[in-house]
A and B are shown apart, each in its own frame.
Chain A
Amino acid sequence: MIELKNVSKTFTTGKKKVEALKDVSLKINKGEIYGVIGFSGAGKSTLIRCANLLERPTEGEVFIDGIDLTKLKKWQLRKARGKIGMIFQHFNLLSTATVYENVARPLKLSKVPKHEIKERVDKYLKIVGLDEKKNVYPAQLSGGQKQRVAIARALAQEPEVLLSDEATSALDPNTTSSILELLLRVNKELGITIFLITHELDVIQRICDRVGVMHHGELVEEGSVIDVFTKPQHPQTRKFVFDDANFQVPDSVKKGLSATGRLVSLTFIGEASNEPFLAAITKKFEVVPSILAGGIDQLKASSVGKLLIHLQGDPAEVEKAISYLESQQVTVEEVAS
């Protein structure tokens, strides 16, 4: 549905050259929710803006539904953009127009027939749950409500793809949840492919099918959310995943513990989280595990459990216990002290 091929973007200001994107390629399938995560400055915002050519790549091609946007003439690009909705961190609504007008105006400007405009605006304001606020101005709405108007505005174009540029970053956690729910519904019920960027791990966990990790303008890792979460490869990905799962155990505590045994983190996926692995290894091997911290993350497709444990005992026995855990589809990671 969306394909970026060897996309690079260099910004030149005076003599300074900044490579915001370096040869990024990615493919997003029809109907999926694909998220790109990265710290600020990683180039993710430039990346998503390349998907509808708000930012023209210095090199590379951008395909939406098989059409290379970079080869289109101005008027063709305008037409193609009608298929690509976009929402933003700061909502970007007309402050001088009511909720209704905010959704209706772009339709009017795109020459949608009058009776159809009213139908569509009513329909999509209902979907986002704002049909009661039709005649209110944006200044009287909360952040979450403003984002709902922006979503209704994007949906009213009846796009096939929705781009979300940090759409929840300016919202509080509760509001973020409700907006994520809405995006999930939009994806399921309207079948709209969603491409989003975020710096919040939570967003990726809760609604994305696949994830890409950006670092210094490069896409350093990509895969299904479960794979990337349970077996992160790139150091940057590990930073995201483990920052979240490291349970904030103080370094001094870790140091003391690694002197008396091995400190490992265990990751279980789905059903495996219910198995009593720790009891099993105590019985089978001469090891004494103690739990330091733990938690379960609910991903879109499955749940992932994480435990930080300390294994004491004869090194050979500990090694055997670890191999046993690995044979049971548990991911074991040595934790650096």
Chain B
Amino acid sequence: MIEFWTEWGTDITEAFWQTLLMTGISLAISIVIGLPLGILLVMTRKGGQAENRVFYSIVNTIINVIRSIPFIILLFLLLPLTRALVGTTIGVEGVILPLVVYTAPYIARLMESALLEVNKGVIEAYESMGISTTKIIWSVIIREARSTMILGLTIATIGLIGATAMAGLVGAGGLGDLAYQYGHLRFEPVVMYVVIIILIILVQAMQTFGNVLARRLRKD
């Protein structure tokens, strides 16, 4: 045990932080893109507060197209774009773009469905009191949807952790990379098992945290 840790400890810790870093950065950027996109989808859809068929169908189609591409393919597909934009395709920097392209549309969809669940009657009640649409979005729709939104973000985060593991294939580092490089290519199965256990704990912790937070925000 101690022997294993002295041999692999630094590698594992480093990989763990890389995974968290990749997940954290791409999650943050994906939320910044995905959440407003989700709101726009809800508002521009038929019967929404700012109905706009053209915008809705364009965004809707783009999201569907991106969501149809498996991440592993997206990763290679975006290599030229990543190189052009970021200057490198390896390391944590190199993988943020594909991770965001993969996750942001997913988050947009999850946010859209969470926001659509909000009781239309409440929105109408606030409209009838002369409250502006912007205020209704923040103080009514998002407020009422928070709990479902948190659950959605939890799902997205876990999906993202999975995706970062695949990003190891293009040399992004992280737990997935470690398991693949050492566990698979150099035949050190114990490293792979340890990585799997760490991932299981990480995912469990995320899900539990998400559930608890969502439950606390839910009042019915």
Contact = CB atoms under 8 A, between A and B. Distances in A.
Interface of A: 52, 54, 77-82, 84-86, 88, 90-97, 105-106, 109-110, 137-139, 150, 153-154, 157, 163
Contact of B130 (A80, A105, A163): A80
Interface residues of B, number: 23
Given A95-B220, A138-B219, 7 more contacts: A54-B128, A78-B130, A80-B130, A94-B140, A105-B139, A154-B129, A157-B129
B144 interface: yes
B122 A94 contact: yes
Contact of B219 (A92, A109, A110, A137): A137
B128 A78 contact: no
A61 to B, nearest CB: 19
A80 B127 CA distance: 12
A143 to B, nearest CB: 14
Nearest to A79: B130
Contacts of B119: 90, 92, 95
Mostly helix, strand, loop or mixed at chain A's interface? mixed
Nearest to B126: A106
A106 B219 contact: no
B53 interface: no
Interface of B: 119, 121-122, 124-132, 135, 139-140, 143-144, 146-147, 217-220
B141 to A, nearest CB: 11
Contact of A78 (B122, B132, B140, B220): B132
| Most A Cβ at <10 Å: residue of B126, B130, B144 | B130
A94 B129 contact: no
B122 A92 contact: yes
Contacts of B135: 109
A52 B122 contact: no
B145 to A, nearest CB: 9
Interface residue SS majority, chain B = helix
Contact of B131 (A78, A80, A91, A150): A78
B121 A139 contact: no
A96 B139 contact: no
Contact of A109 (B121, B125, B139): B139
Most buried by B among A79, A109, A138, A154: A109
Contacts of A86: 125, 128-129
Contacts of A97: 143, 219
B130 A77 contact: yes
A88 B128 CA distance: 11
A96 B218 contact: yes
A237 B139 CA distance: 44
Contacts of B126: 106, 109
Contacts of A82: 129-130
A52 to B, nearest CB: 6
A285 B220 CA distance: 69
B146 A81 contact: no
Given A88-B125, A139-B220, A94 B131 contact: no
B194 to A, nearest CB: 42
Contacts of B146: 96
A137 B147 CA distance: 15
Contacts of B125: 86, 88, 92-93, 150, 153
A301 to B, nearest CB: 30
Given A92-B121, A96-B144, A54 B127 contact: yes
Contacts of A81: 127-130
A106 B129 CA distance: 7
A51 B110 CA distance: 36
Nearest to B125: A92
Contacts of A137: 219-220
A110 B136 CA distance: 11
B219 A54 contact: no
Contacts of B129: 81-82, 85-86, 106, 110, 153-154, 157
Given A95-B144, A96-B143, A139 B128 contact: no
Given A88-B125, A95-B144, A105-B139, A138 B130 contact: no
B124 A54 contact: yes
For the complex of A and B, list the 9 residue pairs with the smallest distance between their C-beta atoms, beginning with the closest.
A81-B130, A92-B121, A92-B125, A78-B130, A139-B220, A137-B219, A86-B128, A95-B220, A82-B130
A299 to B, nearest CB: 30
A169 B217 CA distance: 30
Contacts of B143: 94, 96-97
A82 B220 CA distance: 29
B131 A106 contact: yes
Contacts of B139: 105, 109
B121 A90 contact: yes
